[in-house]
Amino acid sequence: DQQVKQNSPSLSVQEGRISILNCDYTNSMFDYFLWYKKYPAEGPTFLISISSIKDKNEDGRFTVFLNKSAKHLSLHIVPSQPGDSAVYFCAACSNSGYALNFGKGTSLLVTP
Amino acid sequence: EPEVTQTPSHQVTQMGQEVILRCVPISNHLYFYWYRQILGQKVEFLVSFYNNEISEKSEIFDDQFSVERPDGSNFTLKIRSTKLEDSAMYFCASSETLPRVSEQYFGPGTRLTVT
């Protein structure tokens, strides 16, 4: 079952523009959300997270927005750089759990 | 920067054979995890391990799977009798504290191919 959904398998953005990656979740028990970035032949690398008590968290060029009523979160990258080209995974966990539940990922390509 | 390491990077085995995948978590981390990613699919949680016992496991983690921390540095995943559908990338991860408090650091993965 897909408790965390990333409906866009790929996204192409020009360098300097904004990249917006979207994620939806179905499990109401999820209250902590994360974004991971993955390059080929490497493991996922933590990028940014947000607790359900917040609706926004910012770290440099990366901002995550959470809309709890819509069960939706998004990752904004501004400005996008060619080095940002990677697969981005949305993940979620619940208050009582250890497991990260991942989406299928969105492959971001930032073109010069 | 400290990192999680995994060996081997690629393991090929025949169906029915036992395999052991090895991981060295970050030294001051207390929580350990295994995930897997079948080609083209999402990363799936298998098991978490804390204080020398399993703290959570998924439906995937059946009796064919086991985990162990044989010494102070290694963390292993054993598959007793491999099946074709066990072919996947297996990721080890570790965290200093609970997932909500500290991030999980992932290793580069072991690609398991079962023939």
Of B4, B44, B55, the CB nearest to A98: B55
8 Å CB contact between B33 and B45? yes
pLDDT level of residue A40 (50, 70, 90 thresholds): confident
Question: What pLDDT, in 10s, does the model give residues B54-77?
Answer: 999 999 999 999 999 988 789 999
In this prediction, residues B80-87 reach a mean pLDDT of: 96
Is the CB of residue B30 less than 8 Å away from at least one CB of chain A? no
Mean pLDDT of chain B: 94
Mutate which of B10, B26, B103 to test chain A, going by most A C-beta atoms within 10 A?
Answer: B103
- Name every chain A residue with its beta carbon within 8 A of the beta carbon of B56: 97-99
Give the nearest partner residue to B42 out of A32, A93, A103, using CB atoms: A103
Structural domains in chain A (count): 1
B91 chain-A contacts, CB cut-off 8 A: 43-44
- Domain ranges, residue B13: 5-114
Q: Which domain CATH number covers B19?
A: 2.60.40.10
Cα separation, A109 vs B17, in Å, equals 40
Confirm or reject contact between B48 and chain A (CB < 8 A): yes
Paired strand residues for B35: B45, B91
What pLDDT is stored for residue A16 in this prediction? 97
Q: What is the pLDDT of residue B98?
A: 82
Its domain, for residue A48, covers 4-111
B105: chain A residues, CB-CB within 8 Å: 46
**pLDDT(B8) > 80:** yes
Mean pLDDT of A88-99: 90
Query: Å from B109 to nearest chain A CA?
Result: 6
Q: Chain A residue with minimal CA distance to B4?
A: A43
Q: Is the pLDDT of residue B17 over 80?
A: yes
Judge whether B101 is closer than 8 Å to chain A, CB to CB: no
Number of domains into which chain B is organized: 1
Q: Of chain B residues 52-71, which have a CB less than 8 A from chain A?
A: 55-56, 58
Encode pLDDT of B27-60 as tens digits.
999 999 999 999 988 999 999 999 999 999 999 9
More confident call, B97 vs A88: A88
Closest CB from A46, A103, A105 relative to B103: A46
pLDDT above 80 (res B99) = no
Which DSSP letter does residue B81 get? S
Contact list in B for residue A42 (CB cut-off 8 A) is 108-109
Give the model's confidence band at B16: pLDDT under 50 very low, under 70 low, under 90 confident, else very high.
very high
Alpha-carbon gap, residue A91 to A101, rounded angstroms:
5
SS (H, E, C) chain A: CCCEECCCCEEEEECCCCEEEEEEECCCCEEEEEEEEECCCCCCEEEEEEECCCCEEEECCEEEEEECCCCEEEEEECCCCHHHCEEEEEEEEECCCCCCEECCCEEEEEEC
Average per-residue pLDDT in chain A?
A: 95
Residue A87: what pLDDT? 96
Q: Percent of chain A having pLDDT more than 70?
A: 99
Q: Which CATH number does the domain housing residue A60 bear?
A: 2.60.40.10
| Distances A96 to A69, A90, A111 between C-alpha atoms, Å | 21, 19, 41
User: Residue A8 — very low, low, confident or very high, per pLDDT cuts 50/70/90?
Assistant: very high
Q: Which residues of B touch A30 (CB under 8 A)?
A: none
Q: Is the pLDDT of residue A41 over 90?
A: no
